[in-house]
Amino acid sequence: MAHQLEVERLSHSWIEEIEATKRRLGDELLILAHHYQRDEIVKVADFRGDSLELARRAAASSAHWITFCGVHFMAETAAILARPGQQVLIPRADAGCFLAHSVDRVQLLDAWERLSQAIDVERELLPVAYVNTSAEVKAFVGERGGACCTSSSAGKVLAWALARAPKVFFLPDQHLGRNTAHALGIGDAEIALWDPNYPPEDLSQFRRARVILWRGACNVHVRFLPEDVTRVRKEHPGVRVVVHPECRPEVVRLADEVGSTSHIIRVVEGSPPGAGWAVGTEHRLVARLAKENPDKKVVSLGDPPPYCAYMSLIRLPDLARVLSGLLSGEEPGLVEVPEEVAGPARAALDRMWEALDDGR
Ligand code: 13P
Ligand code: SF4
> For 336, phi and psi rounded to 5 degrees?
-120, 135
Asked if 210 and 125 count as a contact pair (C-beta separation under 8 A), the reply is no
> For 53, phi and psi rounded to 5 degrees?
-65, -40
pTM of the predicted structure, to 2 decimals? 0.96
In a domain, 337, yes or no: no
Q: Are both 107 and 190 inside the same structural domain?
A: yes
Residues with CB under 6 A from ligand 1: 35, 50-51, 132, 150-151, 218, 244, 246, 260-261
Q: Are both 348 and 210 inside the same structural domain?
A: yes
In a domain, 126, yes or no: yes
Nearest CA to ligand 1 atom 6: 51
Q: Are both 114 and 160 inside the same structural domain?
A: yes
In a domain, 335, yes or no: no
Asked if 127 and 167 count as a contact pair (C-beta separation under 8 A), the reply is no
Please report which ligand is nearest the Cα atom of 34.
Answer: 1
Q: Are both 76 and 104 inside the same structural domain?
A: no
In a domain, 336, yes or no: no
Nearest CA to ligand 2 atom 1: 97
Q: Which domain holds residue 299?
A: 221-307
Dist. CA 133 → ligand 1 center (Å): 12
CA distances from 278 to 20, 232, 301 (A): 39, 7, 5
282 lines ligand 2 (CB under 6 A): yes
Asked if 92 and 110 count as a contact pair (C-beta separation under 8 A), the reply is no
Q: Are both 108 and 192 inside the same structural domain?
A: yes
Cis amide linkage into residue 273, ω under 30° from 0? no
Q: Are both 111 and 163 inside the same structural domain?
A: yes
Q: Are both 262 and 280 inside the same structural domain?
A: yes
Nearest CA to ligand 1 atom 8: 132
Q: Are both 117 and 188 inside the same structural domain?
A: yes
CA distances from 16 to 10, 23, 34, 67, 333 (A): 10, 11, 21, 17, 21
DSSP 143-181: HTT-EEE-TTTHHHHHHHHHTT-SEEEEESBHHHHHHHH
In the chain, how many domains are there? 3
Would you call 96 helix, strand, or coil by DSSP?
A: coil
Q: What is the CATH number of the domain that holds 65?
A: 3.40.50.10800
285 lines ligand 2 (CB under 6 A): no
User: Which ranges of the chain have pLDDT less than 70?
Assistant: 1-2, 358-360
pLDDT score at 6: 78
Q: Are both 43 and 117 inside the same structural domain?
A: no
Residue 276 bridge partners (DSSP): 297
